[in-house]
Structure 1
Amino acid sequence: MKTNKKRVIGLITAASLCAMSGFAVAKDITLGLSVDQLFESRVAVIDAIKAEAERNGYNIIEVVADGDAQAQNSQIQSLVTQKVDAILVCAVDQNTIERALIGAKRSGIPIIAYDRALPDSRAVDAYVGPDSITDGYLAGQYTAEQFKDSDEKVVILELLGALNDQNGIDRSKGFNDALKELKNVEVIAMPTDWDSARALAATQNAFQANPNIKAVFAATDTHIPSVETVLRDLNKIQPKGSAEHVVVTGVNGSNDGYQATLSGNADGIVAMDTNGTGIKTVKVATALINGESVEMNNVIPGNFYTTDDIEANKSAIWGAK
């Protein structure tokens, strides 16, 4: 059998050129994936990251901090010791892990913050995640539209996320920016720290003090079942268009939000593009590993779905079952 020497030489030359140009061979690339904690939407992004990494032939070392910032700090230091080619991090707390991130930076390891921005970090090379300001704005825009012709004061309950989480901060900003279109609005902001039990208590307390609340915005739609419980107890789950109807919106794309919107108990939710976030995170990491320039902020807006169109778009909602 005759060997095609030209073909063999061509393959060797291509590999050599790749190495000489500084581009890493796929099988030699290892991504360090530092996860704050595991919950539905985070897992959806992580699964997308892993799938895209596998398509590229990359290895992944995954570490999960379970909400412990000190543990995450040590885990990042371990990834540096293992000489990963890039670190993808969703931080428990930026201040606690900043020293470890700076250590990675000094070692020449690119750092990509995913799903949660770290705007004050001196080490992060790029951010990939939801466009939380736009996501909040879409929910606020819908809410404002429902009351645009009202001359009465519109009282709105806002269930805030965590006050130290950039996603929660930005969703609130976007939501409140949209409400500036209303003539007379009062927003009652209640912190939840992303906790459903706190969301339930906050909703109960808010309606007890302000029975005429006309709308509720949940920074995460996983809190909508808590809102439903309170509205049901107050006999305020009424069809859209009725005088007693309370407008309910949220951001995320969980099955809780999907089912509440499908039933009409919620007016609509903004579903995050978790798959797009995961794919983009790996693409940005690849570019940085290869020495290419990237945008610092790579944000991916979600889509707002109402009771009228959410079932038709079920496949686009990451948590829908």
Structure 2
Amino acid sequence: MKRLLATAALATIAFAGGALAQDGQITLGLSVDQLFESRVGVNNAIKAEAAGRGYGLIEVVADGDAQQQNAQIQTLITQGVDAILVCAVDQNTIERALIAAQRAGIPVVAYDRDLPDSRVVAAFVGPDSIFDGREAGKYMAEALADVEGEVTVLELIGALNDQNGIDRQKGWREEMSKLSNLKILEVPTDWDSARALAGTQNAFQANPDIDGVFAATDTHIPAVETVLRDLDKLKTVGEPGHVVVTGINGSNDGYQAVASGAADGIVVMDLDKTGRTAVALAADLIDGKEVDRVNVIPGHFYTHDDIEANADKIWGAK
């Protein structure tokens, strides 16, 4: 389960320099789906970049409630923000509010989660989830290339109504398809660790000889470790009987699992660059400049061999 850090049903107002926005000051509206570790990391980068530019910022958090997010965006429009940065709970629900923003002349930047079917979003910035999936799949395919007979791999699927979940799966499967003897066991998780745990338990009960596990978010790797430990199958990288485990995110859970050798590697997202790019895109749109519709930032794959030496580059390890 994504670790929720805080909730805020009402708007939280945070202006650059701690003061209310002055006449002529650019003010950004930040519409957040909900707060958990990686989202807070991106939001902190947004706030730092906005403050550095002297911008005001009004933040609203929907606590995972799409209807509430719709209403909060309407409030941002009423408050006269110059641009809206949004990570959507659900595209269909908020599109009406985004259309209202467009009519008010307020540009919209989607961050972290794309809204590819929106008629309003002027730009998106977020992880290159297809690339990230490929990196995790490439390592796993190479690690399992010498397995004799059928290769059985468990895929802990993210949320298939989330473009990141869709694209991570697509990239991972592109690389895994290079194994001609592959059997994939699918476990939908909807990003929920309890579902990941139950699904992993059931998968290993039915298929004791699973060779690898791919976690669409590395926050699910502790669930995999729990199951392997209970079955006396938790072997570290390089040990006979080791189950290859990869994931995507960059959380502390993922970092610790790879550092200990329980997992082989994780793709770490660049949260700081994502947040700062979102503000830069908003600034260009406010100035009437043209920007690329899609702006993706690839992550970096770290393995058991190099993750500790690069801890300062991994947001969850800090």
Q: If the length of structure 2 is used for normalisation, what is the TM-score?
A: 0.91
Identity of aligned residues (%): 68
Which among 288, 291, 295 is matched to residue 292 of structure 2?
A: 295
- CA deviation after TM superposition for structure 1 residue 219, in Å: 0.6
The match for 1:97 is 94
1:139 maps to amino acid: A
1:219·1:251 contact (CA, 8 Å) conserved in 2?
Answer: yes
Q: If the length of structure 1 is used for normalisation, what is the TM-score?
A: 0.91
1:137 maps onto 2:134 in alignment: yes
- CA deviation after TM superposition for structure 1 residue 203, in Å: 0.4
Q: Which runs of 5+ in 2 are unaligned?
A: 1-21
2:197 maps to amino acid: L
Report the count of equivalent residues: 297
Question: Counterparts of 2:273 and 2:144 in 1: how far apart (Å)?
Answer: 33
1:144·1:179 contact (CA, 8 Å) conserved in 2?
Answer: yes
1:27·1:58 contact (CA, 8 Å) conserved in 2?
Answer: no
SS at match of 2:164: helix
1:26·1:57 contact (CA, 8 Å) conserved in 2?
Answer: no
The match for 2:254 is 257
- CA deviation after TM superposition for structure 1 residue 27, in Å: 5.8
Q: Deviations for 1:211-256, whole angstroms, at most 9, x for unmatched residues? A: 1110001011011000000000111111333441100010000000
The match for 1:82 is 79
- CA deviation after TM superposition for structure 1 residue 26, in Å: 10
Question: Counterparts of 1:172 and 1:26 in 2: how far apart (Å)?
Answer: 47
Which among 237, 240, 263 is matched to residue 240 of structure 1?
A: 237
The match for 1:46 is 43
1:74 maps to amino acid: A
Q: Which runs of 5+ in 1 are unaligned?
A: 1-24
Question: Counterparts of 1:239 and 1:70 in 2: how far apart (Å)?
Answer: 45
Question: Counterparts of 2:148 and 2:24 in 1: how far apart (Å)?
Answer: 64
What is the RMSD computed on CA atoms of the aligned residues? 1.2
2:237·2:263 contact (CA, 8 Å) conserved in 1?
Answer: no
Which among 196, 200, 203 is matched to residue 203 of structure 1?
A: 200
The higher radius of gyration belongs to 1
2:284 maps to amino acid: A
SS at match of 1:279: helix
Which among 151, 162, 165 is matched to residue 162 of structure 2?
A: 165
- CA deviation after TM superposition for structure 1 residue 151, in Å: 3.9
1:61 maps onto 2:58 in alignment: yes
Q: Deviations for 1:255-297, whole angstroms, at most 9, x for unmatched residues? A: 0000000000000000000001011111111100000010000
2:215·2:221 contact (CA, 8 Å) conserved in 1?
Answer: yes
1:270·1:305 contact (CA, 8 Å) conserved in 2?
Answer: yes
Question: Counterparts of 2:134 and 2:215 in 1: how far apart (Å)?
Answer: 13
1:26·1:56 contact (CA, 8 Å) conserved in 2?
Answer: no
The match for 1:194 is 191
SS at match of 1:312: helix
- CA deviation after TM superposition for structure 1 residue 112, in Å: 0.3
1:255 maps to amino acid: N
Matches within 5 A, 1:226-237: 226-237=223-234
SS at match of 1:313: helix
